[in-house]
Amino acid sequence: MKTRLQDDLKVAMKAQDRLALETIRAIMSAFQYEEMQRGVEVLPENVTIELLQREVKKRKEEIEFAEKAGRGEAKEKALKEISIIERYLPQQLDATALEKIVTDLKVADSALNMGGAMKALKDAYGGQYDSKVASEIAKRVCG
């Protein structure tokens, strides 16, 4: 992941894409901080995905605040940053796919509760879905 980020950083520099440059630098900074905290050279893939998802979540919160404050330019910037960060995340499952997976889990185990469904999702599809959407679906399907 580091190599890909460094390559993309060079491309953004050459293209003079300030937003991509700032966003990639922020991601790299978050990676370096996490590596320093853990005392490792390279983060495990699951930690990398979690970190990227946290960065997306931060931008989504920024969007909410920008909407409340009536700051359209801040909202647009955060949306563009999210699209840049999502390039590094695995393909995300949409709500329809999540609902099918949770329904199949419920059919396989009729005693499945919401917590069990969320654990099964995390184990099998970690980093590939929006946990907020998944919990709403699990709550609805599992009761």
Which pLDDT value is given to residue 126?
79
Closest CA to 128 of 75, 92, 96: 92
CATH superfamily of 2-86: Uncharacterised protein YqeY/AIM41, N-terminal domain (1.10.1510.10)
Domain coordinates of the chain in residue numbers?
A: 2-86, 95-142
Summarised one tens digit per residue, pLDDT across range 4-61 is: 999 999 999 999 999 999 999 999 999 999 999 999 999 988 889 889 989 999 999 9
Which pLDDT value is given to residue 142?
85
Which pLDDT value is given to residue 40?
93
Residue type, 117: A
Confidence of residue 124 (pLDDT cuts 50, 70, 90): confident
Summarised one tens digit per residue, pLDDT across range 57-114 is: 999 999 999 999 999 999 999 999 999 999 998 888 888 999 999 999 989 888 888 8
For residue 94, what are its two tokens? Answer: 């949409």
Question: Does the structure show a pLDDT above 80 at 121?
Answer: yes
Count Cα neighbours of 136 within 13 Å in the Cβ-side half-sphere.
7
Rg of the chain, C-alpha, whole Å: 18
- Are 138 and 121 a contacting pair, CB within 8 Å? yes
Q: Give the separation between CA 24 and CA 15, rounded to whole angstroms.
A: 14
Measured CA distances, 36 to 29, 39, 43, 113, 118 (Å): 10, 5, 10, 38, 30
Q: Give the separation between CA 11 and CA 108, rounded to whole angstroms.
A: 48
